């Protein structure tokens, strides 16, 4: 059974002075042993969050990583630098694609570095509103998945715990969300591409998260889709009550899926 994951992307919010206390509050409000919880704070707050949640069963992730292991890249952070600070990393978030002009080829190189360094990757894919309106959303996302996974060994992707997050770009920070049915259909489309470029076994095992203005009020409809295995949460992840609701619903889903599999 695929795990149910709630990953918090704090983006450019919090400081080392307040990140730890926020993480502790979220951890206490959202305990659920059957849900994988991940907090991805800014680089400067990684140590504070790590120290705060060491005993709380929450994993820590970085929001990005460089595509080289070392070198003359001023202001960048490499995968080896994250050792001991994070065990997960977000790759190819739509804001990185937009603001840093990250391509699928570059994200592919970052994914390779993450796998080599033992960081569990959350690879983000998603279409613009114009793509969906033109009926090419699935083609765009399929091309992103192919580009991001190109040339990487299926066993390495499986061993590295690949996670894919579907984030329709037009639903991020806008208050709009994709319909649960559309997100579920896209998750299935993503798995078809993973089966094509990697292996059917990996396609069946890879968790697919939904990301796009997800909150405690709408998470249940997305988790009702069998192909969706959790959420990559933005703004709501900074609010302990929201995280409690998100993880609580994820826990209900995880229990129901486990019961269905056992029965």
Q: How far apart are CA 232 and CA 208, in angstroms?
A: 10
Q: Which of 95, 138, 167, 225 is catalytic?
A: 167
* Neighbouring residues of 167: CB distance < 8 A, sequence distance ≥ 6: 93, 94, 124, 125, 126, 210, 211, 212, 232
Given phi > 0 = left and psi -120 to 50 = alpha, else beta, which region is 19? alpha
Alpha helices (runs of H) in the chain, residue ranges in sequence order: 16-29, 46-53, 94-99, 104-117, 129-133, 137-149, 154-159, 180-197, 200-205, 219-223, 240-262
- The one catalytic residue in 93, 95, 127, 242 is 93
93 is catalytic: yes
- For the question of residue 67 being annotated catalytic, the response is no
Positions marked catalytic: 93, 167
């Amino acid at each position: 059974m695929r795990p149910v994951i709630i990953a918090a992307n704090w983006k450019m919010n919090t400081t080392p002075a307040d990140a730890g206390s926020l993480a502790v509050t979220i951890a206490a409000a959202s305990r659920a042993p059957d849900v994988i919880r991940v907090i991805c704070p800014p680089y400067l707050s990684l140590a504070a969050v790590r120290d705060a949640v060491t005993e709380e069963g929450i994993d820590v992730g970085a929001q990005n990583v460089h595509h080289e292991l070392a070198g003359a890249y001023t202001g960048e952070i490499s995968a080896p630098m994250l050792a001991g600070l994070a065990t997960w990393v977000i790759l190819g978030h739509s804001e990185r694609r937009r603001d840093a002009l990250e391509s699928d080829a570059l994200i592919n190189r970052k994914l390779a570095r993450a796998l080599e360094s033992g960081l569990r990757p959350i690879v983000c894919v998603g279409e613009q509103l114009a793509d969906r309106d033109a009926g090419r959303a699935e083609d765009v996302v399929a091309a992103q998945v192919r580009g991001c996974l190109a040339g990487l060994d299926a066993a390495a992707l499986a061993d590295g715990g690949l996670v894919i997050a579907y984030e329709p770009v037009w639903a991020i920070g806008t208050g709009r969300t994709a319909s649960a049915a559309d997100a579920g259909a896209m998750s299935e489309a993503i798995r078809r591409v993973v089966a094509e470029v990697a292996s059917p076994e990996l396609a069946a095992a890879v968790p697919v998260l939904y990301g796009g203005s997800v909150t405690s009020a709408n998470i249940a409809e997305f988790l009702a889709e069998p192909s969706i295995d959790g959420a990559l949460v933005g703004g709501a992840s900074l609010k302990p009550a929201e995280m409690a609701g998100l993880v609580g619903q994820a826990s209900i889903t995880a229990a129901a899926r486990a019961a269905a599999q056992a029965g």
